[in-house]
Amino acid sequence: MLLRRVNRGVYVFIPEAEERLLLRLLRSRLSTLCEGLSGSSWEGLLTGLAECAEQRGELLLVIDEFQRLGPGFISHLQLLADTLPDSPLKLVLLGSAVSVIDRIAGALGPLYGRCVLVKLAGFRFLEAFVMLRERLGASPLQAFETYSVFGGSPYNLSLVETLDWRREAKRHIHSVYGRLYEEPLHVLSSETREPGVYASILEAIARGRRSFSEIAQVVHRTSLVKYLEVLRNLGIVERVVPAGENPLRTKKAQYVIGDPFWDYWFKMVYPRRDEAELSGEVGLDEEGVRLHMSEWFERVARELVSRLYGVKASPWWSREVEIDVIAPTSRGAYVFEIKYREVDSSEAERLLRSLEAKTTRLPMKMAGVGLIALRAEHPGGDYIVMGFDELVEAALAKSSVRVERLA
Tell me if 148 sits within 8 A of 296, measured CB to CB: yes
pLDDT for 400: 79
Q: What pLDDT band is residue 7 in, cutting at 50, 70 and 90?
A: low
Residue 12 located in a structural domain: yes
The 10s digit of each residue's pLDDT in 204-238 is 999 999 999 999 998 887 789 999 999 999 999 99
CATH assignment of the domain containing 284: 1.10.10
% pLDDT > 90, the chain: 71
> 194 and 133, same structural domain?
yes
Q: Span 353-372, mean pLDDT?
A: 94
Q: Span 275-284, mean pLDDT?
A: 92
pLDDT for 292: 98
> 143 and 272, same structural domain?
yes
- In 3D space, the residue among 169, 235, 178 whose CA is nearest the CA of residue 202 turns out to be 235
Q: How far apart are CA 259 and CA 208, in angstroms?
A: 15
Tell me if 197 sits within 8 A of 221, measured CB to CB: yes
Residue 57 located in a structural domain: yes
> 96 and 12, same structural domain?
yes
Tell me if 399 sits within 8 A of 307, measured CB to CB: yes
Q: What secondary structure letter does DSSP report for 281? A: B
pLDDT for 222: 75
* pLDDT at position 380 over 90: yes
Instruction: Examine the fold and report which residue of 270, 295, 320 is the final residue of a domain before the chain moves on.
Output: 295
* pLDDT at position 393 over 80: yes
Q: Span 261-271, mean pLDDT?
A: 98
- Look at strands 2-6 and 9-13 and give their pairing: antiparallel
Residue 110 located in a structural domain: no
Residue 354 located in a structural domain: yes
Q: How far apart are CA 124 and CA 226, in angstroms?
A: 26
* pLDDT at position 282 over 60: yes
> 290 and 362, same structural domain?
no
> 273 and 185, same structural domain?
yes
Domain count, the chain: 3
Beta strands, E only, 169-321: 237-240, 254-257, 314-317
Tell me if 73 sits within 8 A of 43, measured CB to CB: no
Domain that holds residue 16: 2-105
Residue 130 located in a structural domain: yes
Cα dihedral 258, 259, 264, 266 in deg (nearest 10): -50
The 10s digit of each residue's pLDDT in 13-66 is 999 999 989 998 888 888 878 877 876 889 989 999 999 889 888 888 999 999
Q: What pLDDT band is residue 407 in, cutting at 50, 70 and 90?
A: very low
> 368 and 248, same structural domain?
no
The 10s digit of each residue's pLDDT in 101-119 is 888 988 889 999 998 888 8
User: What backbone phi and psi angles, to 5 degrees, belong to 281?
Assistant: -160, 160
Q: How far apart are CA 280 and CA 170, in angstroms?
A: 11
The 10s digit of each residue's pLDDT in 236-254 is 999 999 998 999 999 999 9
Dihedral class, residue 154 (left if φ above 0, else alpha if ψ from -120 to 50, else beta): alpha
- In 3D space, the residue among 301, 300, 265, 299 whose CA is nearest the CA of residue 285 turns out to be 265
Instruction: Examine the fold and report which residue of 74, 105, 136 is the final residue of a domain before the chain moves on.
Output: 105
> 280 and 167, same structural domain?
yes
Residue 112 located in a structural domain: no
What is the CB neighbour count within 10 angstroms for residue 273? 13
Residue 119 located in a structural domain: no
Q: What pLDDT band is residue 269 in, cutting at 50, 70 and 90?
A: very high
Give strand pairing partners of 59: 89
The 10s digit of each residue's pLDDT in 312-349 is 999 999 888 999 999 999 999 999 999 999 999 999 99
Residue type present at position 240: V
CATH assignment of the domain containing 332: 3.40.1350
DSSP 292-309: HHHHHHHHHHHHHHHHHH
- Look at strands 89-94 and 237-240 and give their pairing: unpaired
Residue 406 located in a structural domain: no
> 94 and 34, same structural domain?
yes
> 56 and 186, same structural domain?
no
> 263 and 145, same structural domain?
yes
> 285 and 175, same structural domain?
yes
Which residues lie closer than 8 Å to 219 by C-beta, 6 or more apart?
A: 197, 200, 201, 204, 227
> 171 and 68, same structural domain?
no
Instruction: Examine the fold and report which residue of 280, 295, 310 is the final residue of a domain before the chain moves on.
Output: 295
Q: What pLDDT band is residue 270 in, cutting at 50, 70 and 90?
A: very high
